[in-house]
Homo-oligomer: A and B are copies of this chain.
Amino acid sequence: MYKTGKDVRDDCRDSSWTAPTAGLGKGYVQANLAILPYDWAQDFLLFAQRNPKPCPILEVGEKGSPLTKIIADDADICRDLPRYRVYKNGELTEERTDISELWQDDFVYFLIGCSFTFEQALLAEDIDVRHITEGVNVPMYRTNLMCRDAGRFQNVPMVVSMRPFAPKDAIRAIEITRDYPSVHGSPVHLGDPSLIGIKDLASPDFGDPVTVGKDETPLFWACGVTPQSAAMVAKPPIMITHAPGHMFVGDLYDQHYKI
């Protein structure tokens, strides 16, 4: 459907695409978004540096500028994602498809690697990526895996995305994703979800549930929704993010992020 990342962004910009982006803009990098006031940005940068599995940073904007330079040429962070979430004092207050009206002169944006980026490498080996097959958003869960503290970001639980595989494909998925450290790399957990504090795979905290076969092993990757978990705990006055699964699609190829 979409040939390039720019095609996806163009449709996001006029809100003709407002749904999740897994499988879209085939072959182009996807990214999570976190926007914070400058006063909070330094703490967040340190938080990301200390937690590279959930928060591998791909690009950080200049204070006050919503335009990208690296991951895409002059994309507008305020309009080029399909859907946003606004957190005020740790509470999710609204979802929007355009945040231009909310932009502040002291805002700094962070684009953070997204595991959708390595999904093409899995599909290229005919490995079934369940949420794509089932046409839903990837299931995401808050866990009891705690991030390292940084500044005002204390006691932040990691969020993970889950994909189930036959054992052989699970091994191959670990091998493949290892080579994409800047889009979360290898998983942080496999098998029994209760060991990382997930009670029920059928009830994700973000996104949609997917079918998990009886003989399948769930793999859990650190997820760029973790900053939203951080917002809920640290309660900055305002933090704007993408809506989970509704990512920024860049101009760089996913292969660019392969080591």
Residues of A in contact with B (beta carbons under 8 Å apart): 167-168, 170-172, 174-175, 178, 186-192, 195, 215, 217
Contact = CB atoms under 8 A, between A and B. Distances in A.
18 contacts: A167-B189, A167-B190, A167-B195, A168-B188, A168-B189, A170-B190, A171-B188, A171-B189, A172-B186, A174-B174, A174-B186, A175-B178, A178-B178, A190-B190, A190-B217, A191-B191, A191-B217, A192-B215
A167 B175 CA distance: 15
Residue with the greatest number of chain B CB neighbours at <10 A, chosen from A170, A172, A186, A188:
A170
A171 B188 CA distance: 8
Contacts of A195: 167, 215
A195 B167 CA distance: 9
A147 to B, nearest CB: 15
A109 B206 CA distance: 57
Nearest to A165: B190
Contacts of A174: 171, 174-175, 186
B175 A191 contact: no
A170 B167 CA distance: 13
A179 to B, nearest CB: 9
Given A174-B186, A178-B178, A191-B217, 9 more contacts: A167-B189, A167-B191, A167-B195, A168-B188, A171-B189, A174-B175, A175-B186, A190-B217, A191-B191
Contacts of A170: 190-191
B187 A171 contact: yes
B171 A190 contact: yes
Q: Counting chain B CB atoms within 10 Å of each CB, which of A172, A187, A190 scores highest? A: A190
Contacts of A171: 174, 186-190
Most buried by B among A171, A175, A188: A171
Nearest to A170: B190
A85 to B, nearest CB: 30
Contacts of A175: 174-175, 178, 186
Nearest to A215: B195
Contact of A167 (B168, B172, B192, B215): B192
A175 to B, nearest CB: 5
A228 to B, nearest CB: 24
A105 B147 CA distance: 64
A232 to B, nearest CB: 25
A187 B171 CA distance: 7
